[in-house]
Structure 1
């Protein structure tokens, strides 16, 4: 979680929680990776997907009300463990 310290500090600058947060990931469209990302995202969030022309990658966007900075960093850190994932 050390590499997410800057993100955590930035998020903690926000004094109003819960807040609407947008997760955005690009993931290879293979091996169930899209489903792995979906499983990590908040169930109450609104999801949208966009495929690249050649269908090799999927952009996943989730907008959700998050209760605190730590929960955002936890999801981002878990998602980063998925091979080939790019976090935006």
Structure 2
């Protein structure tokens, strides 16, 4: 995704989050990462010390791992910052 497309996406997401939730609120992040322990740990470490509940599930072929993170976030800006942090730090991640 180009930088312009990413910014437009995050702008729409912020509006949607403001309109559909009261903040602070529980938020469910879902990421798909290559099934390499260091990649999964990178995602988990980004949410460390936040009281997040993290669940992982490996794909049937073992190529990818789904990482679901349930965490209380302060506001839409905090949600978006975490998406950006994961995207910038974890190579090959797909955000859902």
Q: Distance in 1 between matches of 2:70 and 2:79?
A: 11
Go from structure 1 to structure 2 and tell me whether the alpha carbon gap of 1:10 and 1:49 turns closer, same or farther (over 3 Å shift): same
Query: Deviation of residue 7 (structure 1)?
Result: 1.1
For structure 2, the residue ranges without an aligned partner over 5 or more in a row are: 1-5
Go from structure 1 to structure 2 and tell me whether the alpha carbon gap of 1:48 and 1:31 turns closer, same or farther (over 3 Å shift): closer
Q: TM-score, normalised by structure 2?
A: 0.80
Go from structure 1 to structure 2 and tell me whether the alpha carbon gap of 1:15 and 1:35 turns closer, same or farther (over 3 Å shift): closer
Kindly report the root-mean-square deviation, in angstroms, between the aligned alpha carbons of the 2 structures. 1.8
1:54-73 to structure 2, matched below 5 A, reads 54-73=61-80
Q: TM-score, normalised by structure 1?
A: 0.87
Runs of 4+ in 1 over 3 A off after TM superposition: none
Is 1:87 aligned to 2:86, yes or no? no
For structure 1, the residue ranges without an aligned partner over 5 or more in a row are: none
Aligned residues: 88
Judging by fraction of residues, say which structure has more helix.
Answer: 2
Q: Distance in 2 between matches of 1:41 and 1:29?
A: 18
Q: Distance in 1 between matches of 2:57 and 2:29?
A: 14
